[in-house]
Structure formats: C-alpha cells, structure tokens
Amino acid sequence: MGPRCRELVELVTEYLEEALSPADRRAFQAHVRGCDDCRVYLGQMRETIDALGELPPARLPDAAREELLARFRSWSARA
Amino acid sequence: MEGATRPPERYRIVVRGRLSERLGSAFAQLRLERRPGRTVLSGSGGRAAAQRVLDRLCDLGLEVIGVDVFADYDRLVAALKSGDETAFAGLMDAYNSSLLRVATIYVGSRAVAEEVVQETWLGVVRGLDRFEGRSSLKTWIFKILTNTASTRGARERRCVPFSSLTDDDGSPLDPDRFFGSDHDRYPGHWSVGPTPWETPEEGLLAGETREVILSAIDALPPSQRAVISLRDVEGWSSADVCDALELSEGNQRVLLHRARTKVRCALEGYYDAVELTAA
C-alpha cells in the first residue's frame, strides 16, 4: 500500500530530487495519478520552485564593483 | 545578466557507441575518450559551443546520451593568478548574487551585506597567490564569505545559528489539513485539499505574489533560507550547497523541503485571502 496524502506531502522534495528508491518512486507516482489533491499540491510545489528560480539577481552597486576591479588591477600590477 | 561575462567553461558530451576514425577526425579540436559502449567528447566553451557540436552529432545520426557544461576552473584560476581582469569581473558577476543573499542572512541588512561581499572579494584577491586547489574555488570563496560575515555578524551582535536541523518551527502544513489514520473512509487523506491557484498570465512573480515569495524567504530560519536561496533561487547544485554550507546531503534535503513547503504555504495563504475578498 502506497503513501497516504499526509505522507506524500513530506516526500515531495525527495521525489523531485530523484532521491526515492525506484519502488517508492513508482508508489509516489501511482498515488499522484489517482489523487486530485496531491496532483494539485505537487503542481503548486513545482510552480513555487520555478518562481524562485526566476527572481532577479541581487547586484553589487556599480561603484563597489568598479572599486573591486581597481583593487584587482593594482594587485596584479604588483612586482 | 546583461553585460556579465561568464567564467571560462568546458562541456562534456556523451555519445552512444564508438566514433569511427573518419567521424572522430571531424571533431579534431575536441578531446575524445573511449569508454565501454560510449564515447565522451569534451571541449572548451559554454552552452553555445556545446550546442554546435550537438547539432553536428545529430546531423551524423549519432545518439547523445548526456551533456554537461561546467566552469573550467583550471583555466579560470590560471587567468585570475595572471591578473586577467575579465576573469575576475566574470567571477564576481557569477557569484555576487549568491554571496549577497547569504551575507544578508548573517548580517541582516542589505547595506552591511554589500560591505561584507566587498571584503570577501578583497580577501579573495589577497589570497589568490596562495590558492592551490581547483574544483574548490567556489567553496574557498564561500568560506571567505562565511568567515567575513560571521565576524561582522558577531560585531553587529546578531547571532546566526546555522545548526542545521534544530531551527525548525514546526510543520508549516497544519495537521488538520489531513484526516487521521483512524478515519473510517479516508485515513491520511486531505480533509481540506489544496485549491488550484489562479496564477496571473504574467506568472507568479508579477506584483503581489512576488512580495509574498520574498517575505516568505526572509522569514525562514537561517539555514533553510540559505539552502533555498542557493538551490532554488541561485540554481546551485546540491553538491556545491553541501560543500559551501557544510551540510550532509540528507540534512540539505530536509532544509530544502521545509523551506519550499513554507514558501508554498505562504502563497496558498495569499491566494486563499484573495479568494475571500473576491467572494
């Protein structure tokens, strides 16, 4: 007997990381195929992860970056 | 990122079977390694260069079973040590976002985090002569960051416990969302299932949902925030995150799981509230 919904939600990350054993993976997929709620949940987790990956990058201010390049330049110019 | 140069890269393509001498000579600029049942082609360049080779392999009717593009650390370190400014600029552009996110976790304010990241790069420059390792360049830079950040964090009197699993504030999913195992008809099943989200066309990062996600990340306990930032926001591999944060694979996965569950819950809370006001 495969995982129940309450257990499945705790296995979502292992599933997406491909860390489940082949048997557990099959049981997970079988449950999702037959359970609307868990299918919605899995889809929402995927949407969440995708959104995280699209957040704009954090940037160092240009002035700070230029200063660091200047430091690198003087380091590389040393004897 | 516009204008950002990438550190030097290499690619590796695995093809099924043996390449005949004639075919092999068509890829003279690549290194070919013969393995049982397959041939590994590797060369310098990034995704674009790899794609050109893939296109030619496809034209020749060869079956590709794997492609991998990775930083060419040997060339990068050599370039840095020889004072190549483009390499240094590329390295900064590749890592600053990750460094800033992790530094902010330690010191709290973005302004102080920027100072910490600058100090980190100065430390990298000062330490370059002594740096010997190759594949641990990323880990080495991150070590400098965490040392710099925790010193600064201590000075700012912020205590950041990076104890991996003890900073858990309970399961974000309310157990009442599920029936108990003793339920007659649906043991362990959802009692209140998730409602499908009406994601706007522009996606989850439009407007308010972006703020919900950012706030949810900010509210995470430090180690969960670090793992989800590096894995999902910055796209680091699991191995690199385990190295940089000194976590086992298992611990890293648990932290990632808790963090993702919380962020999803925050979005669910937002959508439920939206539905209520619309009703």
**B51/B86 same-domain check:** no
List the CATH number of the domain containing B231: 1.10.10.10
Of residues A6, A47, A64, nearest to B114 (C-beta):
A64
Please answer yes or no on whether B268 and A54 come within 8 Å at the CB atom. Answer: no
Sequence-distant (≥ 6) Cβ neighbours of residue B81 within 8 angstroms = B128, B129, B131
List the CATH number of the domain containing A30: 1.10.10.1320
Residue B203 lies in a domain: yes
**B186/B274 same-domain check:** yes
**B51/B103 same-domain check:** no
Mark which of B127, B155, B183 sits at the end of a domain: B155
In single-letter form, the type of residue at position B43 comes to G
Residue B3 lies in a domain: no
Name the 3-class secondary structure at B256. Answer: helix
Q: Which residue has the tokens 């699993």?
A: B165
**B194/B227 same-domain check:** yes
**B83/B41 same-domain check:** no
- Domain span at A37: 5-76
Residue B169 lies in a domain: no
Give me the total of CB pairs closer than 8 Å, taking one residue from chain A and one from chain B.
132
Taking alpha carbons only, the member of B268, B101, B70, B121 closest to residue A67 is B121
Sequence-distant (≥ 6) Cβ neighbours of residue B277 within 8 angstroms = none
Which pLDDT value is given to residue A64? 96
**B45/B101 same-domain check:** no
Which pLDDT value is given to residue B1? 37
- List chain A residues with pLDDT less than 50: none
Give the integer Cα–Cα distance in Å for B279 and B277: 6
Residue B60 lies in a domain: yes
* Total of domains in chain B: 3
**B252/B181 same-domain check:** yes
Taking contacts as CB-CB distances below 8 angstroms, the residues of chain A near B89 are: 65, 69
Which pLDDT value is given to residue B274? 79
Q: Which residue has the tokens 């989800």?
A: B228
Q: Could you tell me the sign of the dihedral formed by the alpha carbons of B79, B82, B86, B87, in that order?
A: positive
Q: How close is the nearest chain A Cα to the Cα of B233, in Å?
A: 4
Residue B258 lies in a domain: yes
Mark which of B90, B124, B155 sits at the end of a domain: B155
**B57/B97 same-domain check:** no
Residue B160 lies in a domain: no
- Other C-beta atoms closer than 10 Å to the C-beta of A74 total 9
pTM: 0.82
User: Could you tell me whether strands B38-44 and B64-71 are parallel, antiparallel, or unpaired per DSSP bridges?
Assistant: unpaired
Which pLDDT value is given to residue B3? 41
Q: Any idea how long chain B is?
A: 279
**B179/B217 same-domain check:** yes
- How confident is the prediction along chain B (279 residues), in pLDDT tens digits per residue? 334 456 778 898 999 988 877 777 777 788 888 888 888 999 988 888 899 999 988 888 889 988 888 778 788 888 999 999 999 998 999 999 999 999 999 998 999 999 999 999 999 999 998 898 755 888 899 999 999 998 887 777 665 555 555 556 666 788 889 999 888 888 999 999 999 998 777 777 777 889 999 999 999 999 999 999 999 999 998 989 999 998 999 999 999 999 999 999 999 999 888 777 766
Which pLDDT value is given to residue B2? 36
**B183/B268 same-domain check:** yes
Mark which of B155, B184, B215 sits at the end of a domain: B155
Taking contacts as CB-CB distances below 8 angstroms, the residues of chain A near B264 are: 44-45, 48
- Other C-beta atoms closer than 10 Å to the C-beta of B228 total 27
Taking contacts as CB-CB distances below 8 angstroms, the residues of chain A near B215 are: none
* Total of domains in chain A: 1
- Domain span at B151: 76-155
